[in-house]
Structure formats: structure tokens, C-alpha cells
């Protein structure tokens, strides 16, 4: 199948113009064309998210991340909107600033995977998600906590 991801990691540059907060920028190349399902397959478990697009905040002791939106900016460039996820395991909220993330995408029906690192500017408009035990649905669901 052949999938290659490359992430933008230049948010530490002073004076960067036009950068949207809570967004990861990636380039994607796939030998057989098409779009991997991880960039289009969504689930709703209280909120809409991308279960096949794994995003992890690499700040030590920080909470996990979840992909809330994926936008194709041109033929090869993708923007992924992320939110912080609180699983109630005692990890710390993200502080405003630049954070490093690991992104993993696995092509459809393949054991191959592609990973990359990318930075995102986190600010006060960050959406925070928590896992909530819904007594009506009798299951855990995501909900926005801010």
C-alpha cells in the first residue's frame, strides 16, 4: 500500500503568521492514491471523532489527544483539529504554548502504519473532552468539558 506522513514542527519560530491553534499540519503521500479511511472514518460517542487516527501529546505527564476534525488543504496537505482528552487518570491538562504530538495512521486492511511528529500551538480556545459515564445509555461517552 505505501503510506508516508510528514508533520510540521516549526511552531517555535517567532513571528509565524496565519497558524491556526489546536491544528496539526501533515503531508500525506500514498502510492496507490486515494484517501486512507483514518482521515474520513468517524464515530460518534457523544462527540464526532476519528478513531483510526491516533494522536498522542508527547508533553511528559500530559493528557491524551483526540482528532475532532480533518480538513484537506490541498492535494497533499491536511489539517487535523485536536482536543485534549481527560480519561480521569490524573494526567495534567495542556498548558498554553507549543506541544509536540505523535500521529499514527494505518492504511485500510494493512498491517503497515505510518507515524510522524508535529507541533501545535495550544491556546485558551482549546476544547477539552472528558469520558463520562452515561447512566441512560449505560456506557461511557465523550463530552466537552469546557
Count of the separate structural domains present in the chain: 1
Q: Domain limits at 111?
A: 3-12+20-144
Dump strand ranges (E) for the chain: 3-7, 23-30, 43-44, 48-49, 53-57, 64-72, 77-86, 97-105, 114-122, 128-134, 139-144
Strand partners, 46: none
> pLDDT of 23-37, one tens digit each?
999 988 776 667 777
Rounded mean pLDDT, 104-126:
83
pLDDT, residue 8, reads 73
Q: What percent of the chain has pLDDT over 70?
A: 86
Which residues have C-beta within 8 Å of that of residue 60, sequence separation ≥ 6? none
User: For the whole model, what pTM was predicted?
Assistant: 0.85
Do 76 and 29 touch, CB atoms closer than 8 A?
yes
pLDDT, residue 13, reads 57
Kindly tell me if the per-residue pLDDT of 106 is higher than 80.
Answer: no
Amino acid at each position: 500500500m505505501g503510506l508516508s506522513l510528514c508533520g510540521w514542527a516549526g511552531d517555535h519560530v517567532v513571528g509565524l503568521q496565519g497558524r491556526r491553534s489546536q491544528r496539526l499540519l501533515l503531508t500525506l503521500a500514498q502510492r496507490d492514491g486515494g484517501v486512507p479511511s483514518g482521515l474520513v472514518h468517524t464515530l460518534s460517542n457523544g462527540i464526532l471523532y476519528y478513531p483510526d487516527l491516533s494522536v498522542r501529546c508527547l508533553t511528559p505527564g500530559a493528557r491524551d489527544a483526540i482528532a475532532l476534525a480533518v480538513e484537506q488543504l490541498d492535494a497533499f496537505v491536511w489539517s487535523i483539529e485536536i482536543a485534549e482528552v481527560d480519561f480521569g487518570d490524573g494526567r495534567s491538562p495542556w498548558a498554553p504554548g507549543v506541544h509536540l504530538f505523535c500521529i499514527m495512521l494505518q492504511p485500510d486492511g494493512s498491517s503497515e502504519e505510518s507515524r510522524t511528529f508535529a507541533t501545535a500551538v495550544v491556546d485558551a480556545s482549546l476544547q477539552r473532552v472528558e469520558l463520562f459515564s452515561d447512566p441512560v445509555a449505560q456506557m461511557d461517552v465523550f463530552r466537552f468539558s469546557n
